[in-house]
Structures are given as structure tokens and as C-alpha cells.
A and B are shown apart, each in its own frame.
Chain A
Amino acid sequence: MPKAQLFITCLGDQFYTSTLQNMTRILERLGVDLAFPPGQTCCGQPLFNNGFEEKTRPVAWNFLQAFGQSEASIVGPSGSCVSMVKHHYPSLFKPGTAEHNLAVDIASRTFEFTEYLVNILKVTDVGAVYPHKVTYHASCHYLREMGLKTEARSLLNRVKELELIPLQEEETCCGFGGAFTVTFPEVSRSMMENKVRDILASGADTVVMCEPGCLMNIAGGLHKAGSKIRALHIIDLLANMDSTSPDVGA
């Protein structure tokens, strides 16, 4: 029986309760023995990406302690947060130290949700049904730092009654960028508005993505534009075991 620890990410923790519940249900349904280390906080990426390397270290150490208790894999609903753990944690600690060894060990067994499903559990059909026109936004860190180019699509392709339609500039950043949204609010806004414009033009009734950050941004933008298009984390889409409306992350 595969074992995994849930890495809920701080954005998931604060904003996406039902997405995390759905992640739990999907993984349990697939027979994963789940644990939730309550000592986890935030991966520290907001600090790290803003140049505060020194100040990231204790935050990363908290993460390593929280997840280092168990040998199990670590699964999170965000390519960006997982990339932080996977690609940047080892650089925070001096090679040869116990901290560095733990960081390297944890990095090697931390996975993004769709990556874990498709590449580790080897599952693409989770038994979901979603009779809608769906378009897909490729999140930047998920796509480029994690290199996850096909995983989300192979899951979506197996969802019954789902029609996947293309999105113009699918791989263009939505303008989230963490602190970027408050550092340069107008740039972030116009990037988001371009993304919303493309989503509106796609003809889809649902836009799906694998990143809570992008989801906050795009869902908010669609709401502000008065659009009925639903923005969903892929987890919430995959959680639809029947044709009823999903419980959107709130």
C-alpha cells in the first residue's frame, strides 16, 4: 500500500479547504495510506523568491522537521510549492550537513499531485465524470520548473464526457507571481486580464489548472469580469464522481 504525507501548502490551508478534502478522498480511493503532519506551515517560497534566503532557512527547516518524521512520499496540490522543496531546499543548506542530507532526501520524495498520480501511482483514470467544455491553463512553475507537460492533460483525457478545448497562450503566465501581485499590482492586473480575455474567448465553461496561486488570481478575475466560467483546481474536477456540480474550493 503506497504511503503519502499531505503537503497542503499555505494557500490551500487558508483558502482551499474543499480542494484539500477532495485531494484526500481521491488519494484514499486510490488506496494511498495518508498522513497529515500538522507541524507544516508554508514552504517558504514567498521569502525565497523575494531574496530572503537567510530568512527562508528556518522555514524550510520547519518543513523538513514536519515531514522528516516519516519515510513516506510527500504530495502537494501545487507545482510551485513542490518545486520549492524539490529544487531549492537542497541549495539552502551546506552540503555534508545533516540538514542538507535531509533536504536532499525530502526533495527526492516530494511530488506534485498530478505527477504523483500519473508517474508514481501510474493512474490516469480516476473514475471522474465531468460533462463540460474545459480549457486548461498551464501554470508556470508546474510547467517549467517541474517540467510537467503532459500529466494534467493525460488525467483530463480520461475524464468521462469532458471536452478539452484549447486556450490561446495556454503557457503564458496569469500574472500571479506571489508577492508580485502586490508589488506591481497594475502589471499583475493587466496580465490577469489578458488571461481572462483568452479564457472568455475559448468557449469553455470551465478553466482548470494545477496551482492554487493561479486559481486565486484567475477565479477572482473571472468573478470580477462577471463571467459564469468556473475556475477549478484539477483536483476539484477529478473529484466529480457523478455529474453534479463540484464543490468549488470555498
Chain B
Amino acid sequence: MTSAYSAILGRAADADGFAHYLAQVRTGTSRAEIVADLARSMEGRRNRTQLPGLRKITRKHGGLVPSLLAWLSRRGMSTRAQSIQRQLRVLDNNLYLVQQAVAAQTDLITELLALQRLSRMESAASGQPARAQGSGENSEIARTFHELKAILAGQPRN
């Protein structure tokens, strides 16, 4: 959506517009339809964006002026097929949302696991006499871990 806005309207999406189109995507409107919609908006027409393939998309989805032709251009497909396609896009969107949620959870679990192991190491290290077998090892691992993390945090990401 962000790319569509910047390519066609040459600006970032405003909050209202973004919410409007996101809701459409989630309910199964195709990306091409949204691109076409953006292109034939007043702002889109003023911008006269030239993008490879854009004309084809807008023509297929009704041209720059919504008309009977737009409806006719989709005549090749039965309404039933169109409805199934829309349903599939809704499912696809839901799947994407679930994936995002799982990835976020996994990150969280990973972080928690690391934290748990780390705190076990550190408490084992502090709870025992300094020279006991294994305790020195744990605190060394924790120290090295923190050092690595600090170095990585200070490093510019490319």
C-alpha cells in the first residue's frame, strides 16, 4: 500500500486513506483494483503517473473513468468465480496476519528462553562459591553474551 501511494500519488499514505484501503485488502479486494482505484482518483489523474503496466491495469479495472465498460471488462468471469477469488484473497490475508502474529510470538519466546537460561546461569554463578565447578563458566558465558549484544547494538545495521 505504501509503495502504491508513493508510486502513484508521489506521497506517503494519509491515515484515513491507508485505513480505508487496508480494510479493502483484508476483505478481498485485489491489489490491482486498489492500484486502479488510486490511479483514477482526482489526485491520481492530476499526477498522471507513468508506470509500466499501469495503463493495462486501469483499463482492465475500468479505465480512468468508471463506467459500464468497467463492468463489461470483467464480463469474462462469472460473478461466482469473482466471489471465490475474493474469498481466496480474504483467506490469503488472514493467513498473512496469522504468520505475522506467529513470528512475533516466536521472537518473544526466543527472547524469553534466552533470558531464562541467562538468569539461571547468573543465579547459579552468584549462589555458589566463586571457584566451584561450572559457576565460573556460567558467569563467563553470561558476560560474553552481554558483550556480544552490546557490540551488536552499537553496530550500524546495513
| Same assembly | no
* Residues of B that sit less than 8 Å from A by CB: none
